[in-house]
Amino acid sequence: MTSPHVKRVFKYRFPPTEAQAAELSRTFGCVRKVYNLALAARTEAWTLRSERVNYHATSAMPTAWKKTEELAYLNDVSSVPLQQALRHLQTAFTNFFGKRAKYPRFKSRKKSRRSAEYTTSAFRFRDGNLTPAKVADPLDIVWSRPLPEGATPSTVIASQDPAGRWFVSLPCEDPAVVPLPAIDAAVGVDAGLDHLLALSTGEKIANPRHERRDRTRLAKARRELSREAKGDGANRAKARRKVARIHARIADRRRDHLHKLTTRLVRENQTIVSEDLTVRNLLKNGRLARAISDAAWREFRSMLEYKAQWYGREVIVVDRWFPSSKLCSACGRLQEKMPLHVRTWTYACGVTHDRDVNAARNTLAAGLAVSACGAGVRPQRSTPGGQPTMKQELLRREP
C-alpha cells in the first residue's frame, strides 16, 4: 500500500528578467565547474595514489578554490548549489560502485543539463513568491496548477532546457495522493508500433507517432543548423534552439499522452500485466529504432509503475521470452512459427486471433498465474502429443 504522504515534484515555467537570467546562468556555470573539478580530483586521487575520496573530503574543496585568483568568481554565487553538486557527484559514484551506472563523466557546457539545486536555507518561499539566494526579486512563476494546500517545498531546482525555457521544480508532499478503492479488474497490455497498446479487453490504442508529425519541420531545422558555421556564434545558437524547440514540443506531446493513458489504466484496473521489453536491445534494429523511440515503451512502463505504487495497484511484468503471440488464448496450443508480418491467424481449434489482442490475453493469463503462485514464465520448446500446453501448465501450478 502507498504511504499517505507521497512526495511529488511540481514543475512550473517562469520568464526570468535579464538580471535573474544572468544570475542563474552564472550559478549553472559554477555548479558545472565545481562538479568537474571534484570529479577530476577524485579521479586523480584514485589513479595516482589508489585513494578513494568521499563527499566529506570534497565538501571542503570549494572553500580552498574560492581563495584562488582563478576561481574567485565562485564567491559570486550561492554556496548551496555548489555543495549540492558535490552530493550529486557522490550519488553518481555510489551508483557506479553499486554497478548501476557507468563511471561519472565530466559535464559539458553545451550538452549537460543546466540546473542548480537550492535547499531550504538558500531560498525564500512566502505567499507563492519564490526567491532563490543571490537573486534580487521573486521569480515570476506561471502557476499552471496550485501546490497542495499548506505544502512547503523541501528543495528548489531551477533549470533551463536546450529550447531556452526556464523551469523551477518544487518537491512537495501531496496528501491528496491516496490508494484508490480496490476493484475486481485486471488487464493485459501488449505494446506495439502499429498500435501503441493492445489490451486484453480487445481495445487497441492508436499510436500517435508524435515524431513523425514534425519530421519534415525537424529535418528542415537540422539542415539550417548544419549550414551554420561551427563555433559559439549567435546564428548557430539560434538555429540550435530552433531544433531543440521542435524536440521539446514532440517530447511534451508524447509525455502528455502517456500520462493520460497510464492514469486511465491505473484507475480502471487493480492489476496490470505487461511484457518485459528490452528496449535497449530493440533500439539496435536500425529500421525500427526511430519508431521504437517515438513509442516510448520504457517511459510508459516507468509511469505505470510509480502511479500503481501511488494508488495501491499492482503491475506484473511477464518474462520477455514468454511466447504470448504464438500461444492460442482459446485452446492453449503453441504455434511453431509466427512471422512479424502475420497480424491475424486461425489455429486448429477454429478460433481466429488478432495477433496483438491474443498476445495481451496470454500476457494477462500468465501474469495472473505468476501472481498466484510465483511461477516463472519461460517458453515451451515443443508440445508433443500427450504433454500439457503452456497454458495448462501455468494453470496446473495455481494452488
Which residues are annotated as catalytic? Answer: 190, 275, 356
Q: Which residue has the cell 512502463?
A: 301
Yes or no: say if 296 and 254 are a contact pair by the CB < 8 Å rule.
yes
Distance separating alpha carbons of residues 367 and 374, to the nearest angstrom: 10
Q: Distance (Å, rounded) from C-alpha 203 to C-alpha 364?
A: 14
Contact partners, residue 23, CB within 8 Å, separation at least 6 = 77, 134, 135, 136
Measured CA to CA, the distance from residue 298 to residue 288 in angstroms comes to 15
Task: Tell me how far apart the alpha carbons of residues 211 and 247 are, in angstroms, rounded to a whole number.
Answer: 8
Residue 295 one-letter amino acid: A
What is the rounded CA–CA span in Å between residue 363 and residue 317?
A: 9
Q: Does residue 352 contact residue 329 with C-beta atoms inside 8 Å?
A: no
- Spatial distance between the Cα atoms of 340 and 327, rounded to a whole number of angstroms: 14
**Maximum Cα interatomic distance, the chain, rounded to a whole number of Å:** 84
Q: In what order do the strands lie in the sheet with 186-191?
A: 204-206, 195-199, 186-191, 271-275, 314-318
Residue that has been written with the C-alpha cell 512471422 in this structure: 339
Asked whether the beta carbons of 24 and 158 are under 8 A apart, the reply is yes
Helix axes 390-397, 355-373, angle to 10 degrees: 30
How many Cβ atoms from other residues are within 10 Å of residue 72's Cβ?
Answer: 11
